[in-house]
Chain A
Amino acid sequence: MAGKCGKLYKKAAKVTKVIDKATVKHVALLSRLALDEREETTYSTQLASILSYINKLNELDTKDTPPTSHVLSNLRNVDRADVLKESLKAEEALANAPEKEGDFFRIPKVIEGK
Chain B
Amino acid sequence: MKYEPVIGLEVHLQLKTKTKAFCGCSTLFGQRPNSQSCPVCLGLPGSLPKLNHEAFGHSIKVALALHCSVQKEIKFDRKNYYYPDLPKNFQISQYDKPVAHDGFVDISSCGKIKKIRIKRVHLEEDAGKLIHQTGGPYSLFDCNRAGMPLLEIVTEPDINSPEEAYDYLTGLKSILKYLEVSDCDMEKGSLRCDANISVRPAGSDKLGSKVELKNMNSFKAVRLALEHEVSRQMEAVSAGEKLQQETRLWDAGKAVTLLMRTKEEAHDYRYFPEPDLVPFVPDPSYVEDIRKTIPEMPDAKAKRFKERFNLSDYDIAVLVSDKAAADYFEKCLESYDNPKTVANWIMGDITAQSNLKNTGIRELGISPQGLAELLKMIDGQLISGKMAKEVLLEAIEKRCEPAQIVRSKGLEQLSDKGELEKIVKVILGRNEKSVQDYKGGKKNALTFIIGQVMRETKGKANPAVINEILKKSLGE
Closest to B81 in A: A30
Q: Does A107 contact B (CB under 8 A)?
A: yes
Q: CA separation between A110 and B85, bound complex, in Å?
A: 10
A113-B261 CB under 8 A given contacts A81-B53, A82-B54, A93-B37: yes
Q: Is the CB of A85 within 8 A of B81?
A: no
Closest chain B residue to A96 by CB distance?
Answer: B44
Write the chain A residue with the least CB distance to B42. Answer: A93
Cβ-defined partner of B278 (8 Å) among A72, A94, A110, A112 = A72
A-B contact pairs, 30 of them (CB 8 A): A26-B268, A69-B274, A70-B278, A70-B279, A76-B279, A77-B280, A78-B278, A79-B56, A79-B280, A80-B50, A82-B19, A82-B52, A84-B18, A84-B19, A86-B24, A87-B24, A87-B26, A87-B36, A88-B38, A88-B42, A90-B33, A93-B42, A103-B142, A104-B131, A107-B139, A109-B133, A109-B139, A110-B82, A111-B132, A113-B260
Interface check B25, CB cutoff 8 A: yes
Interface string of A18-43 (1 = CB under 8 A from B): 00000000100111100000000000
Greatest chain A CB density within 10 A among B38, B275, B278 is at B278
Q: How far is the CA of A51 from the CA of B265 in the complex (A)?
A: 22
B46 at the interface (CB under 8 A from A): no
Interface size on A, residues (CB 8 A): 41
Interface members, chain A 55-79 (any B CB < 8 Å) = 69-72, 75-79
Residues of B within 8 A of A69 (CB): 75, 272-275
Could you tell me the distance in whole angstroms from the C-beta of A13 to the nearest C-beta in chain B? 22
Task: Please tell me the size bucket of the interface on B.
Answer: 35 or more
B35 interfacial contact with A, CB 8 Å:
yes
**In the complex, given contacts A101-B138, A112-B266, what are 15 additional A-B residue pairs having Cβ atoms less than 8 angstroms apart?**
A31-B82, A78-B278, A79-B51, A83-B18, A83-B19, A85-B23, A86-B24, A87-B36, A93-B35, A94-B34, A103-B34, A105-B34, A108-B137, A112-B260, A113-B260
Contact of A78 among B33, B50, B81, B268 (CB under 8 A): B50
Chain B contact residues, CB within 8 Å of chain A: 17-19, 23-26, 32-39, 42, 50-56, 75, 81-84, 131-133, 136-143, 260-262, 265-266, 268, 272-275, 277-282
B38 touches A87 (CB 8 A): yes
| A87-B53 CB under 8 A given contacts A72-B278, A76-B280, A107-B84 | no
Residues of B within 8 A of A32 (CB): 82
Question: Bound state CA distance, A93 and B133, in angstroms?
Answer: 22
